Amino acid sequence: MKRILVGIKRVVDYNVRVRVKPDGSGVITEGVKLSINPFDEIAVEEALRQKEKGACDEVVVASIGPADCQTQLRTALAMGADRAILVETAAALPPLSVARVFLRLAEKETPLLVVLGKQAVDEDNSQTAQMLAALWARPQATFISKLEIGADLARVTREVDAGLEMLEVDLPAVISTDLRLNEPRYVKLPEIMKAKKKPLEVLPLDSLGIAGDLRVRAVNYAPPSQRPKGVRVADAAELVAALRSRGVL
């Protein structure tokens, strides 16, 4: 069976204002809306569109985190994914450990594509897809804005500084999705109800033989400094004078 494996991450919803805990130990998540990382939601949508085109037979979504991540997995199932896998752990894994988890899942599921969001909006590492491709010894195409799947290869369009870059990669491969690849579908209530009956497998992290060792540890969190208030000027001459007074000109 031809399948696509999609990775999703639970993050603070991008519409929510992120607040730092008073003691600087982390970000406040209690009572805050948590959602699928936006780039990962695009990845799910693209996998579903490829299935609708007949490029694959099954879409499997996977996430790493505590039991509460099942909510986001059920959302992906409601979008149209066939199965879900939760690798359960309370630890916040670094990108390399995440890539190793997806390597184990790729070896288990043998997908023709592993699709990940190009980055998570909470940490912005943009490392997991590249690390997974290296560990899996398979081709990679990152930051894609268009995807076409053939019999033995995938054709992708990447957005680069100089414009658009077209690549062909042999399958199986790892790709990461950019913002302009698609617009995720709206999930309707009947699909949400159906998703409750779809299979969701829970695997303890240690069952995959992965150690959640941290090579980099965050020791403190702090909100960004407040921006100074803007100044309204009457005309261009006053603008130039204001810039000169600040040493900009």
Tokens of 193: 């109800």
Q: How confident is the model at residue 3 (pLDDT cuts 50, 70, 90)?
A: very high
What is the per-residue pLDDT for 236?
Answer: 92
Cis peptide before 224 (omega within 30 of 0): no
CA distance 67 to 87: 9
Spell out the residues 6+ positions from residue 154 whose beta carbon is closer than 8 angstroms to its own: 113, 141, 147, 148, 168, 169, 171, 173, 175
Q: Which pLDDT score is estimated for 100?
A: 95
CATH architecture of 3-223: 3-Layer(aba) Sandwich (3.40)
**What are the φ/ψ torsions at residue 34 (nearest 5 degrees)?**
-115, 140
Phi then psi dihedrals of residue 205, to 5 deg: -55, -40
Question: Where do the structural domains in the chain lie, given as residue ranges?
Answer: 3-223
Question: Is the model's pLDDT at 84 over the cut of 80?
Answer: yes
39-70 pLDDT tens trace: 999 999 999 999 999 999 999 999 999 999 99
Side chain identity, residue 64: I
User: Each residue of 125-179: pLDDT tens digit?
Assistant: 999 999 999 999 999 999 999 999 998 999 999 988 888 999 999 999 999 999 9
Is residue 130 packed enough to be buried (19+ CB in 10 Å), middle (13-18) or exposed (0-12)?
A: middle
Please report the pLDDT score of residue 219 as a whole number: 85
